[in-house]
Structure 1
Amino acid sequence: MNQMQAYQRLFQLTEQFIPIMKGELDLTCAPDIQSETKLDPQQQDFQQQDPQKNQPKIIAGQAETDAHFQALYQFWEATHPEAGHPYWLTRSWLMSIWQPVYLAVFSVYLLKAVPNLKNMSQHYAEGVVAGYHLAPEELTEGDDSQLIQNACAHLIALVNHFQHHFNAFTRLRPGMTRPLLADSVLEALAALANHFPDAAPGDLKTHARMWLAELALASRHLDSLSQVAPKQNDSSPCWQVARISCCMHYRRHDGKLCANCPRAQAKNQRAESRTGTCERRQS
């Protein structure tokens, strides 16, 4: 598989998993690599399809993107004023990082190679970040450990860059962003195992520990990743994540606590504790 075919495979698989996660190559960025491979008509048609090209973008590596991050924040502020700053900021941050995280994880296991995520651009419109462009640079290859190390280095650079731009108009604390990043990475690994079981590592928790270590995230987050019994008529075990961070969706007038929200877990534990206390008193 040559470089162009590898990129096409990555785009097809990410879009297969999440249809709005549509990837494209920015061929103007690397004409030398483009000339290495002659595209067949189907690939040419794929490249010419660019319905998002006129949408504003969040572009990593360029200082003028402050306005795009601020526009993202202001959209959620205007759409859900009742939810308050914690929701606006958390929603905007998660929107900014979800595609890089999934790309990093999926590239390592589905492609066995890592693209340059530090130069990726993401499409933004009406509060939603979905769709991305990658420059067709040389893919980094290696064993799983090397690929994880490389992918995490890209994620760290990208996250630091995003945080810099958010801090230009608001305060974004690492104490908030790091748990959100940990949850996002673990959820991407769980999604990989559930949707692409043949490509996922058999020792998923060991690999999750490697991701957390390379991202300098606390190993205690690993406890939130667990395997549950398969559903009826399904022999495949299912992986799930009991989040350690809250997406703040419950703060919206139409929101509620997510099933795997730490606030919901705490609420259930308090309810169970009260029930147990009542039962002991009655006995």
Structure 2
Amino acid sequence: MNTAVYAPQTANLLAQIHQLLPRLSGRLNDTAAGTFRLGCRNNINDIKQLYEHLQQQHPEGGKIFWSCRTWALLIWQPIYLTVLSVQLLGKAVSLNRFGIITDRSGVAAYSLSPRAVYTGKPSHLVLFAGRQIKATGDHIYTCLREITPFNMKLAAKLQTDCLVSALLFQNTHYTQNSKNELDRLIAEWLAAAGLPDCQATFYLNQTRRTFGFNRQACCQEFRLTSGSLCDACPRLPLSERVYRMTQTESPLHAES
């Protein structure tokens, strides 16, 4: 792994990532109020405010929904950023001092430190990135547990779903790998991040190389008044999930 490059390269990476996925809005070394910064334990209130906002917005959801939704909002940015950086830009991102910028309604953006970008061999980048995802998830989980009980196995399964969704996103829109290549890539990333396996992918459209996968956990949105089971929900029989996703060719990416 080479020495970290400086702020201009990091700023350039932020711009490239935003082009690849506009919902990923990154800032360089943002220290504004409302930033939950990894490695700091004095800003748990930012997570608490997000959790309480979900309580107020969706009182019918209950603790399981509030916990799962808070977790999903906090983990998707670092996971997608890490995957897209390695797979599409050939660079790994250090999530040390990664900032999750929140507001009352949710997660608004993210922040990277100026020396956040690393280069190296592809296999080394995946290993480094996987460890970053694990460390990030561990820290967020520890902070969330101080606010509400949250099952560790459920958290890990939701992380798996998010990571695989990120890999499917880059494959569908950019790399177009074969099923065998994609399955190997997913297994490599999950192993690097210390996450449970997703039991491989399946074709939604073989000609277009679009894929679905066996989601490991329910997002709990069916508990909302306006909610329902999503097409990929593991509460549905696998045959029903495959049928629904085949009709829409949608792997239901997790960038939400």
TM normalised by structure 1 equals: 0.76
RMSD: 2.5
**1:249 equivalent in alignment to 2:225:** no
Q: Which residue of 1 aligns with 2:171?
A: 193
- Give the structure, 1 or 2, with the largest relative contact order (CA under 8 Å, sep 6 or more): 2
Match for 1:245: what amino acid?
A: A
Q: 1:267 to 1:254 in 2, by over 3 A?
A: farther
Distance 1:131 1:124 in 2: 7
Q: Deviations over 1:232-265 (max 9, x none)?
A: xxx6311223312111111000111111111133
Distance 2:13 2:235 in 1: 35
Tell me if structure 1 keeps the 8 A contact 2:199–2:214. no
Distance 1:78 1:121 in 2: 25
Q: Which residue of 2 aligns with 1:181?
A: 159
Greater helix content:
1
Name structure 1 gaps, 5 residues minimum.
Answer: 28-52, 270-283
Distance 2:179 2:129 in 1: 16
Q: 1:137 to 1:58 in 2, by over 3 A?
A: same
**1:228 equivalent in alignment to 2:204:** yes
Name structure 2 gaps, 5 residues minimum.
Answer: 242-256
Distance 2:225 2:239 in 1: 20
Tell me if structure 2 keeps the 8 A contact 1:192–1:200. no
SS in 2 for 1:63: coil
> How far off is 1:182 after superposition?
0.5
Q: Which residue of 2 aligns with 1:159?
A: 137
Structure number, greater radius of gyration: 1
Q: Which residue of 2 aligns with 1:261?
A: 233
SS in 1 for 2:212: strand
Match for 1:213: what amino acid?
A: A
Q: Deviations over 1:204-258 (max 9, x none)?
A: 2111111111122233x133x233325xxxx631122331211111100011111
Total equivalences in the alignment:
237
Match for 2:165: what amino acid?
A: E
> How far off is 1:126 after superposition?
2.4
Q: 1:21 aligns with which of 4, 20, 24?
A: 24
**1:208 equivalent in alignment to 2:186:** yes
Match for 1:25: what amino acid?
A: L
Identity %: 25
